[in-house]
Structure 1
């Protein structure tokens, strides 16, 4: 029988089923992922040579966003996951896909929150989708709010997408809930909400509502885990969701947690008390870590040192990592493993220096 770690845990909230159904009724129903993939409106650019080729000694291949998304200072890329996480066959609806999370720098009142970008790996065409929170007001009317989380990590597993929410835990979405917003009118790019039978979404064509949350808790005498980044370990059965903490100081908490998934639902395993507890909790992570993947017991950590210095990758086991300097471009974020090609994929965040790039795992065997 598996022994779970005490001290920190996650509690799954109820589903926003009624609120999501009400929103779907207003916009004409759900379209699911297929509807978004059939309507990709932007195209990324393959990079071959300098000056567009990203720096970083381990970079194997890369592409970048269109001009607007490369330069925007409002939206910052953070998390990455792929159809290879979602499915053992590594494609969804016959396509190989990246999903990248972004957060709006103006996270406070008036900020646009977070979004997910779905990218067709072959064509590099993509579409941004706004993440929203539907809820009923006291008078019974439907409200639609932005999801204001840092979105530092994202995991696509089966029909669900999990987005990191730091001290709050993480938010879970069902991709079948993707909805198309009717044609926006004048002024709609400036607002999000419901006005009668009309929905505005800051001008976004598609929205994805939160289905439920995994809320972070800690027992007395323990510090609550911060869910700064997420990944999926498919080299174990059933897969594990791996989460970690970012810290800018060496003395700060930098734990790495493994949560086993239920083999049928591919959601977190829960005990009879409805609580999800980690199977392992490693205390010896690395400061400034932005992402982690675990492959056959080996850890790979992306570590950023700002907008002007190339990032590092730490490889090994907690407490015994090897550091590979200048391995990534500046500002590396979350990590995701593509099993069939044995590549680690990541995304960088800084305006004018934004790439989606891969590294061969074998490069770190030297």
Structure 2
């Protein structure tokens, strides 16, 4: 299948057992140059689509670029869109960790750890070619990349916490709210999570609604449905931990998250909680049924 600009969709392997597991059919299953991080859902040309953010780094940890893979959940194929910043009329790669995503219509918010929340325009995606495509992918002078799709940053939203990740918020009845949870990954238990209303116009700013510290180390993602919070906690090369409940009474769920777990996303249509693992050879995008979590739908 071709996207309207002529870019080819690439296959993803999907397995359905007790969970829905998506795995990459390419070198991205093991590469140490690109790492998956954030996740959210939305509509892409009218189709239910999962968005997964990636950052590229040198082996010394220096950030080079970032992108989002849009996965068509019905056809198990994905399409990459590079993230870019325009400076003096020239596109530069978005050198951010891209630790979390929140997708509202044509507006994509990305957690830029330590640099606030960056907003990208999905309605104005461009196609670039040749050397520019390779440079925006952080691979100037290498590879045979002929073309690439690019989403350009429209705003930087300053936030007074670290912005390691962000996740969506839903009302009790499943209505999506124009709010996000923004949180901090810290190795100790002092990390904070704050809830913000997103700006409706260029004249508005993120408005903080509440803030709390759940006392959980290495938090990687958070979403809210009514009073119930879901928080992911990584544990190095061990399966991740999911915490659920009200913010004052979080309990450890018996269902494990992927090894090297990262961000979270709620899929109320399919009754799934999505997460993903970042470590090479163990990379998976996993949908966990609400029934396994004891969640009433």
TM-score (norm 2): 0.86
In the TM superposition, structure 1's runs of 4+ consecutive aligned residues that sit over 6 Å from their partners are 107-110
Where do 5+ consecutive residues of structure 2 fail to align?
138-142
2:78 pairs, out of 118, 122, 126, with 126
Task: For residue 70 of structure 1, report the CA deviation from its aligned partner.
Answer: 0.7
CA offset digits 1:262-294 (Å, max 9, x no partner) = 6xx4x69x7xxx543311111225211111110
Alignment of 1:162-177 (within 5 A): 162-177=109-124
Q: Which residue of the other structure, out of 212, 227, 232, is the alignment partner of 1:302?
A: 232
- Partner residue in 2 for 1:291: 221
Aligned equivalents of 1:334, 1:192: Cα separation in 2:
24
Task: Decide which of 41, 65, 84 is 2:24's aligned counterpart.
Answer: 65
CA distance in 2, matches of 1:109, 1:334: 20
Equivalent residue for 1:45? 13
Counterpart contact for 2:99–2:112, Cα < 8 Å:
yes
Whichever of the two has the greater Rg, that structure is 1
- Check whether the contact 1:43–1:66 (CA below 8 A) recurs between aligned residues: yes
Q: Which has the higher contact order (CA 8 A, sep 6+)?
A: 1
- Give the match for residue 324 of structure 1: 253
Task: Tell me the SS of whatever aligns to 2:29.
Answer: helix
Name the SS for the 2:292 alignment partner.
helix
Q: Tell me if structure 1 keeps the 8 A contact 2:71–2:79.
A: yes
Of 249, 253, 256, which aligns to 2:193?
256
Deviations 1:223-281 (A, max 9, x none): x311111111132674311111111112x3x111111246xx4x69x7xxx54331111
User: How many residues are paired up?
Assistant: 286
Which whole-Å deviations, capped at 9, do the CAs of 1:40-66 have from their partners, x for residues lacking one?
A: 4311112358xxxxxxxxx62111011
Choose 279-288 or 64-73, whichever is displaced more. 279-288
Query: Structure 1 residues 108 and 208, CA, compared in 2 at 3 Å: closer, same or farther?
Result: farther
Mark the CA change 1:332 to 1:111 in structure 2 (over 3 Å): closer, same or farther.
closer
Q: Is the 8 A contact 1:285 1:319 kept in 2?
A: no
**SS in structure 2 opposite 1:362?**
helix
